[in-house]
Structure 1
Amino acid sequence: MSGGVGPCSDIRLPHEEEDAKTSHDTSFSKSGQKPHAPKSLLTLRQLNVLAVIVVLAASGMVSATDFAFVIFSFIYMAFLSKVAFPALSPSTEPPVFGQNNRVLGLYVTFAAVIGLFLPIAYIFEGIVEGDKEGIKAAAPHVFLLASQVFMEGVTFRDCFSLPIRVFVPVIYNSIRIFSIMDWLSSEFSKVKDEYGGSARRLYVGRGLAIANMALWCFNLFGFLLPVYLPKAFKIYYSKLLKKN
């Protein structure tokens, strides 16, 4: 579902969730021992979204404000992990949700398609059709979502606790809603007679922006804040009390 469903990120696909859990959940459930650190610095998923980040950054379609936000989020995340929410032993921090949740897996796949894959396809088609306004409007959302996925991959290491894993999707989801609002405004301000692209692209862009607004508003206000955040904090503080 949304960020932090166990070690499952906002848009992580089911097979990626299983790979990410191998060293953490298996060790916890079977041996109770501390899982081994990841062998590679970056996962394949992180490398893929990093490529998206670099391409969009090089295109000049991402504002300095978005860059500054990503840098700030990393610094503040590191600050919180040291000052407010230090990591507990990995063996005492089980995932918030089980890894065999089929409904969750379907939602993750749906979110990946609507939130990332279709907007990327929309941007590439816009390059072909010369729809510079559409590309520029959709790019910030894709950039921030790709950055969120990358940062979530960083937090699923032993040095970060559950509250930090909550922090990343909540803050990124909140900021992305504003970028989607700008996307919606841009799409509905287009005039047919003056619009350079096809009519089909005009309606697809509007529908895609609306779908993302609905999806991520539900993700933040219907899942992250009322469901995932309380569960994650309850687990963290209960384990912290037992540890002390």
Structure 2
Amino acid sequence: MRKGLIIAYHRVNSSGKDPMAVSVENFQAQMKYFHERGYSSLTLADYSNMINQNDLPKKSLVITFDDGYRDNYLFAFPTLKLYGFRATIFLTVDFIGTSDTFPMDKNKWDKINDEDLPLSWEQVLEMKKYGVEFGSHTCSHWHLDELPEKELIKELVDSKRCLEENLQSTVTSFCYPSGRFNQRVKEAVCQAGYLAAVVTPRLRQVDEDIYSLKRIGIYSNDTDWRFRLKTSPYFAAFRDSGLLYQLKNYIPRVILQP
């Protein structure tokens, strides 16, 4: 089975106050890099359908964003259009169309700017018209592996229903908040009607299937050379081999030995 590259962003802005935010300049350079190398941009829905049929283009790229920050529309969307790229944005639906900050941002900054707020439904619909896919990131961004069964199902089903009512289209893609999931959660995601789900593993091993598709996270500290290394097929192979995890545990012990 041929696999493509799935990358994960959260935010795109140049304020410098959020380590999850890639600067506008870096994001533009990263999209230019993919464009010049002939990558085919797919939504997660397209990707999951093609991978099931073993029909992926040779250089497949899925660009994803988590949470649904307004800067996705203000700063990332123009660059995506410039290079003809599509993307999948996972929305935390209780916050979309509100003036509330996301729960992980409460009391995080002294000043809240427009780009720190969630997307509006008008912005979501404009991006959908262009070809951006929207998936679920639950209703409220809880850690799903900690929820009782009834609350878990509610987060999955209610967010899907809300998205489908506002988008007037079927929602099939899902992303686990904070990457927290287990087999029980994966089964619930499947039963809720999603066809694919993504996770951004750090160094820990994750068994990959259609409900735990691995992504490469891109952040503010990813310089040009780090970005190129992380998005190379060699890095993914190194990560998936488990060697990265072993090195993380081995190096501190070596340093601390007398």
TM range (shorter): under 0.3
Answer 1 or 2: higher relative contact order, Cα 8 Å, separation at least 6.
1
Higher helix share: 1
TM-score, normalised by the number of residues in structure 2: 0.20
Q: Tell me which structure has the larger Cα radius of gyration.
A: 1
